[in-house]
Structures are given as C-alpha cells and as structure tokens.
DNA sequence: GTGAATGCAAAACCTTTGCAACTGG
DNA sequence: CCAGTTGCAAAGGTTTTGCATTCAC
C-alpha cells in the first residue's frame, strides 16, 4: 500500500536543540523550500492554509533564528525569505521585482574584498544586486 | 565685515537637469555630508530645523533619485542614508547598531564575483556586512 | 507666472505584541 | 504536564498621501 504523499517529511538541516517543528513551521518551511522565489510573509500567508499572519511572522522568526532560513531585504518593501543556506547573493529586478539567487563564480577571490577595520568580527554578508533581469531586458 | 557663515554653498555633485535645490533639500544634504553616520529620516528630522517629517522623506527621495545619496537598508528598521558615492560596503554592528562605510581592498578582484545569468543588467550592488564593530568587541 | 515642493494630518503599510486557548515532546 | 506556540485583534513604527499653501526658477 502506498501512503498518500503527505506534504512533509522533516527534511530540514540540523535543527537546534529544543526546536519544536509545529505544523505551521513545517508548512512555512515547505513552501520556502519548494517555491524558491523568496516570498514575503504575505505571500506565505496566501500559499498556506489555516495559519494566521501573526503566526507566519512567528514561524519566520523561529526559522530564521534557528538558522535554516535567511531574511532578505532588497528594498523597503516587505522582507523576503530564503531557504538557501549556501553562500550566494540576491539579484533584485527593479522592473518586475523578482528576486533570484546568484551563486559565486567558481574561483572568485576567496577573501573578503573589503578593508575592514582591525577588530571587526564578521557574522554575515548580505549582497543584493539591483538591475534588470533577462526576462525584463526584452 | 565678515558675513555670517551661512550653512550652505551648493557643494553637491552634478545635479540632474531641473533639480530644484530648495532650502530643505540643501539642509538635509548638508547634514548627510557633514555627519556621515548614516542617519535615518527621523534622525535628520531632529538634526534640522523647520522641516516637516514628510518633507524629510520627500527630500531623501529627491536626493536619492537624483543620484547623490544612497539609501541603505541594514535590517528592517528605518532606512538610512549615505552621501558617499564611491564604491563601498556598509558594516552594520549588530550590537550597537552603528553603520560605517567600508572601502574595497586596494587590489581586490575587479570583476563581479557573482555568476549572473546572461542578459542580466546590473545597476547597483549593495553589500551589508553584519558583525561586531571594534568598539563593541571589547 | 507656474509647475514643483512643502507642511500638516490622516492613512497606509508592515510587523510586533498581549493574552487566552491550545499542543508537541 | 507545561513551557512554548498559536490566533486574534489591537498597537506600534515607518513611510506615503491628499490637498491647500508657498516657493524656485
């Protein structure tokens, strides 16, 4: 007998001790993982069912501080969310508003190209490339 | 007779055709240029006189689209503004919240280290380095 | 003179919060 | 069981808007 394709096996990178994988958190993570278009909280609210908007925000906060989702700010509009944990930048099309992942070049310089003051401790680097995407260039 | 030090000579990079340099826009630009700590709209409202908050926002929008000021989004809090037009990144201290300019290393790789899809047109690249600044490391 | 910019207050928008009810481990 | 999570509605903070007045060119 074949089990119905329940939407979600955990399938999540190492979770912190004591992290509660609730139905809501799983659903939010599933949408992020399956539709990698960097949805906003409102997008996620529409794409899920029986989750309040406040809980969407709670889940995103929980997933973000658990380290399995990154928050992306391309402009002043709603925050977007990204389940890609590999080093990458975000390309933001100023025409259509889409946000896509951009990988580093195969053998790009390995050290930070920025002259940080002595004593600075780097936690994360967020790079947003604004421009026009191939589809909008036509 | 010595003239009182009126706050402002134009002293602004090439302005677009038809840009009206009003008193308010000049004052906002002067504060940005003289106190390069990346103030928010609310900061600028406090540091200027006889300018309404709505006008602060109008001025920032005007200066930004005129290309002489850049908007900086380090997190979800208020937008910050930067009059430094040279290529640089922003270091955001997650402890004290300060934002400082970071210059590129003298001979860092000259081309984008990102594999952009063919047909992408890059307009600007915003890099925010989150971490702990030297003062907060103590 | 005239279109653009300002000031005010109100509205819009995104996100967080307080608190009672519920639930995952 | 019970601390942590949810849902709701209300509040908070930031930014925008409508419109009459004022101003830069």
Of A94, A105, A130, the CB nearest to B113: A105
- In this structure, are residues A94 and A130 in contact, taking their beta carbons and an 8 Å threshold? yes
Quick one: which residue's CA is nearest to D9's C1'?
A: A54
Q: Which chain A residue has the Cα nearest residue B138?
A: A119
pTM of the model: 0.90
Residue B8 scores a pLDDT above 50: no
Alpha-carbon separation of residue A28 from A1, A18, A61, A98, B131 (angstroms) = 29, 19, 11, 20, 28
> Residue A51 contacts by C-beta under 8 Å, 6 or more apart in sequence?
A24, A27, A28, A45, A59
Give B106's contacts in chain A (Cβ within 8 Å).
115
Kindly report, residue by residue over A18-57, the tens digit of the pLDDT. Answer: 899 999 999 999 999 999 999 999 999 999 999 999 999 9
pLDDT level of residue A5 (50, 70, 90 thresholds): very low
Provide the token pair at A45: 């609210």
Judge whether residue A118 has pLDDT over 70: yes
Considering only CA atoms, give the Rg of chain B.
17
- Each residue's pLDDT tens digit, A12-23: 678 998 899 999
Nearest CA-CA distance, residue A102 and chain B, Å: 6
Question: With 90 as the cut, is the pLDDT of residue B2 above it?
Answer: no
How far apart (Å, rounded) are the C-alpha atoms in residues B81 and B8? 19
The predicted-structure confidence for A66-106, as pLDDT tens digits, reads as follows: 999 999 999 999 999 999 999 999 999 999 999 999 999 99
Per-residue confidence band for A9, with pLDDT thresholds at 50, 70 and 90: very low
**pLDDT top residue among B14 and B4:** B14
Q: How far, in Å, CA of B68 to CA of A71, rounded?
A: 28
Q: Over the stretch B77-112, which tens digit does the pLDDT of each residue have?
A: 999 999 999 999 999 999 999 999 999 999 877 788
């Amino acid at each position: 007998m074949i089990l119905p394709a329940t939407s979600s096996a955990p399938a999540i990178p190492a979770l912190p001790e004591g992290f509660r994988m609730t139905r809501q958190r799983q659903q939010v993570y599933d949408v992020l993982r399956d539709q990698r278009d960097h949805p906003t909280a409102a997008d996620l609210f529409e794409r899920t069912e029986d989750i309040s908007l406040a809980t969407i925000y709670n889940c995103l906060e929980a997933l973000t501080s658990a380290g399995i989702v990154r928050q992306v700010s391309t402009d002043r509009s709603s925050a977007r969310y990204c389940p890609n944990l590999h080093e990458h930048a975000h390309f933001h099309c100023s025409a259509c508003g889409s946000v896509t992942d951009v990988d580093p070049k195969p053998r790009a310089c390995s050290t930070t190209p920025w002259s940080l003051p002595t004593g600075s401790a780097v936690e994360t680097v967020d790079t947003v490339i604004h421009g026009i995407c191939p589809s909008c260039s036509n």
